[in-house]
Chain A
Amino acid sequence: CGFQLRRTAGIPFKSLYLDAPGGSAVAQRLRSLLTANRKTRLVTVPGEAEALLKLTQEVRSKRILSLSGAGRVTEYRLGLTLSYSIVGPDERVLAEPESLELNRDMTYDDSQLLAKGAEEQLLYRDMEDSAARRILRRLQALGGDT
């Protein structure tokens, strides 16, 4: 049905600078994914990079999704939003900036406070990992197919 094993050229830059706020968990995930990818080198000086990946506005959110008739929370929606852009060293836009909006729904029971708190952290990490992989796929898509 037309599906073939993926053949990507990989990330089309030899060097990349990651510009992200200090506490960015997505940047941390991206760093470890990029370090595993040996073709692209992460540089510490923006001027030495072929491309700059800028992450901004990384925000975790937690919203009540459903309440019981007693006014107690039965479900939360956890969210992760962030924006990123990929530009060249001359600030030329290499990929249209994108805002990612991920979410995970979690059932809640206030008698399991500590377990649900840990589950929340697991789901945030899962979203951060998904976001990092999505950004990586976008970087690879810039290279096109071989």
Chain B
Amino acid sequence: NGLVLKKDLELKGSTVAGKEAPLFLTADRIDSTAVGIIEAAGRVEARQAGRNFFADWLRYDTRENSVQARGKVRLEQPALLVTGDSLDIDLDTYSGQLAAPVYRFVGQPGRGDAERIDFIDENNFSLADATYTTCSVEDEDWYLKIADLDIDRGRDVGTAHHASLRFLGVPILYTPWMSFPLGDARKSGILAPTIGTTERSGLDIVVPYYLNLAPNYDATLYPRLLSKRGVQLGGEFRYLLEDARGVNRVEYLDDSEAARTRWSVALNNSYRLNANTQAGMLFDRVSDDDYFRDLSNLISITSLSHLNREVWVTTQHAHWNAELRAQSFQTLQDSTASTPIAEPYARLPHARLGAAQTFGRFEFTLESEATRFAHPTKTEGTRVLAYPTLRMPLVNDYGFLTPQIGWHSTYYALDESAADDNIVRNLPIFSLDSGVVFDRPMRFSGVDFEQTLEPRVYYVYAPYRDQDDIPIFDTGLLDFSYAQMFTPNQFIGGDRINDANQLTVAVTSRFVEAESGLERLQVTLGQRYYFTPQRVTLPGVDPRSDNTTDLLAAVSGQITRDWRIDTAWQFDTQNGTVIRQNLGASYRPGPGRAINFGYRFIDQTTEQVDVSAQWPLGRRWYGMFRYNYSFQDDKLVEGLAGLEYNGGCWALRTVFQRLATKEDQSTDALFFQLELNGMGRLGSNPLDVLKQSVPGYRPSNEILPTP
């Protein structure tokens, strides 16, 4: 499509003058037939106030300020381009009509024809017996056939009475009334429906209706028909104000399959009290353990085992921050599991205060908290904890040395079921962190790099304190990782402080592109050495027997524009076995082209492969795929195959998915979605499924055609 010079739609100055501006007229012949009447014939062009009229014949009444035009009429105005047979328009009010119009919006897709168009004012038109589509000219893949169509270009909304939707010539939907957005703006209306079938619920049809109540709040209603269960009613209300925001959702289903009513409530609201202080609440609750497993197909939802309920206030200042929180959970059990899922402690309430201050060369920090831990069956109690530290960082161009001393102090008040109901634990923690940076220039496949070599040594000392009587409220062992290696306590949570006399040695090497300064690859190797045997452990866990930890190695980076790798090994040097391993690579040469590969291994718990991709299969076809198989369980975790066709002004996608939801249960689902560009869309199945399962997935109609 070659470029063409286009006459300026608006004669400069004429728009500014507005309706008072003069009408400029050119034609083969111009006559004044009566007082105030001007008639022009042959290649007539009239311009006034940003509006251009073209016709074979035009009559301008200067007293009425009205225009009549006949024969190949074309009207160009800021909101609309329209051609037709005969036009009558009042230039004072822009009211009038045009017969047999063919119209196109300016600045956004949307076009069609009609028997007649009535101009009501500058931005409002009414079309009789009209069609509407966002497809390009010559493309009639889908269109709405509408008895009465009102267009409001001020709000960019179309309102249709008696509309039927024809897709590839076949009428597929009729509605006595509908309202739809013009362009991509969020506007009230029906969003793309999803049609699917799942093993557990039968035919599954969702027709979301979006209500754009105001620029900063909206609602979506999503009635959903599940043939085996009944009709689920759901609604979501969102708002975004200067100081407050929230997303609130409720769902209700009278389930004939389960013979009970089922519901879910999810409220999430936060409020900014001032520049530093925020408050919020989160309330998630469902009617029963299997609610999500039965009714959702998103892994992130079906895998939920705890639902959070909390209210909180936090405040952030230059030298201190604080938080107050009350939190409890709903635990969703798996009826087929051999052991029930442990219920976490509720924190009713939890208060935290942190502070940081610099005094010359010294940095002071304080972490303190007080929490009441509540549980229906386990020992309950209150814990008060304070951990002030003082450090003195010494830094120069090539290295740093940071000695740090801290005092960890904790007090427990436990209920009668505890062995000892008042426990005090005090201990000092000393650490010394140091590192230097070497570098050298190097050249690799024609590119100059700066390679660094950064050895780092970290020593921690903390004396032993007997903690066997302290219950475990919120504490666990940190994963062995680079972040953990340089943390004084290998436990997270306040109930265990390790007895430490240990040295961590690690080396990092970075490859930085010399010209741009971009880091391309990072290689890390690290290990820890213990000088004394371990004595503090979690209940039921044996103390460590050897004096070294596993060796940790990692290689990661965005090695080229298209390739990214992420690999890590945790190696038990004592027994020569791999404890944890992760091999990951992704290749994304462009939108719509993504391949991800992952292999994950964790001793005793996990061994699985995960391959996913989106790739063009033809000019308009895309294939999507995921295969996630667990060797540990000999079971498919998720399998997905999808196909998508981009019809230019529409897209059709279909997805088949198998998902493990319980120990002895998987669920199958098949989904179809027809999306008509410019008619709105909800992030619904199967789009959310695809986005979660195939990292890098892009809907085909969002991918811009590359020349």
Contacts and interface: CB of A to CB of B under 8 A. Distances in A.
- A is bound by B: yes
A64 interface: yes
A1 B442 CA distance: 11
Contact of A123 (B306, B483, B600): B483
B608 A118 contact: no
Contact of A67 (B303, B481, B602): B303
Nearest to A125: B483
Contact of B299 (A4, A8, A67, A111): A67
A39 B302 CA distance: 53
Contacts of A141: 450, 512, 517
A98 interface: yes
Contacts of B438: 3-6
Closest 4 CB pairs of A and B: A69-B633, A115-B476, A69-B635, A111-B342
A75 B659 contact: no
A90 interface: no
Interface in A1-53: 1-8, 10, 22, 35-37
Contacts of B244: none
Nearest to B605: A74
Contacts of B608: 66
Interface centre among A35, A66, A75, A105 (most CB of B within 10 A): A66
A96 B600 CA distance: 35
Nearest to A113: B344
Contact of B663 (A10, A69, A142): A69
Contact of B606 (A66, A104, A115): A66
27 contacts: A3-B440, A3-B451, A5-B399, A36-B393, A64-B300, A65-B598, A67-B628, A67-B660, A68-B660, A69-B630, A69-B632, A69-B634, A71-B637, A71-B659, A71-B662, A71-B665, A73-B303, A95-B517, A101-B564, A107-B479, A112-B342, A113-B329, A115-B475, A126-B483, A137-B512, A141-B450, A141-B517
Nearest to A9: B397
B15 to A, nearest CB: 31
B558 interface: yes
B478 A119 contact: yes
B519 A134 contact: yes
Chain A interface size, under 10 / 10 to 19 / 20 to 34 / 35 or more: 35 or more
A141 to B, nearest CB: 4
Interface in B377-402: 393, 395, 397-399
Contacts of B637: 66-69, 71
Given A68-B633, A75-B606, 4 more contacts: A6-B398, A71-B659, A74-B605, A75-B602
Contact of A71 (B473, B605, B660, B692): B660
A118 B517 contact: no
A110 interface: yes
B475 A64 contact: no
Contact of A101 (B512, B558, B661): B558
A89 to B, nearest CB: 20
Interface of A: 1-8, 10, 22, 35-37, 63-75, 95-96, 98, 101, 103-107, 109-116, 118-119, 122-123, 126, 134, 137-138, 141-142
Which label, helix, strand, loop or mixed, suits the secondary structure of the A interface? mixed
Contacts of B504: none
A96 B487 CA distance: 34
Interface of B: 275, 293, 299-300, 302-303, 305-306, 329, 334, 336-337, 341-342, 344-345, 347, 358, 393, 395, 397-399, 436-442, 450-453, 473-476, 478-479, 481-483, 487, 492-493, 512, 516-519, 558, 564, 566, 568, 582, 598, 600, 602, 605-606, 608, 610, 628, 630, 632-635, 637-638, 659-663, 665, 692, 695
A31 to B, nearest CB: 9
Contacts of A126: 482-483
Contacts of A123: 481, 483
Nearest to A3: B438
A105 B517 contact: no
Interface centre among A1, A68, A75 (most CB of B within 10 A): A68
Contacts of B300: 64
Contacts of B483: 104, 122-123, 126
B517 A138 contact: yes
B481 A104 contact: yes
Contact of A110 (B305, B436, B453, B582): B305
A111 B452 CA distance: 41
A98 B344 CA distance: 41
Contacts of A67: 299, 303, 628, 630, 637-638, 660
Contact of A113 (B306, B398, B453, B516): B306
Given A66-B606, A74-B606, A5 B436 contact: yes
Contact of B341 (A1, A74, A75, A110): A110
A113 B637 CA distance: 22
Given A115-B492, A115-B493, A122-B483, A72 B397 contact: no
Given A4-B439, A5-B436, A119-B476, A103 B566 contact: yes
A104 B482 CA distance: 10
B187 to A, nearest CB: 26
A2 B306 contact: no
A114 B473 contact: yes
A127 B538 CA distance: 27
A119 B605 contact: no
A95 B518 CA distance: 10
Given A5-B436, A6-B452, A115-B493, A69 B660 contact: yes
A109 B305 CA distance: 10
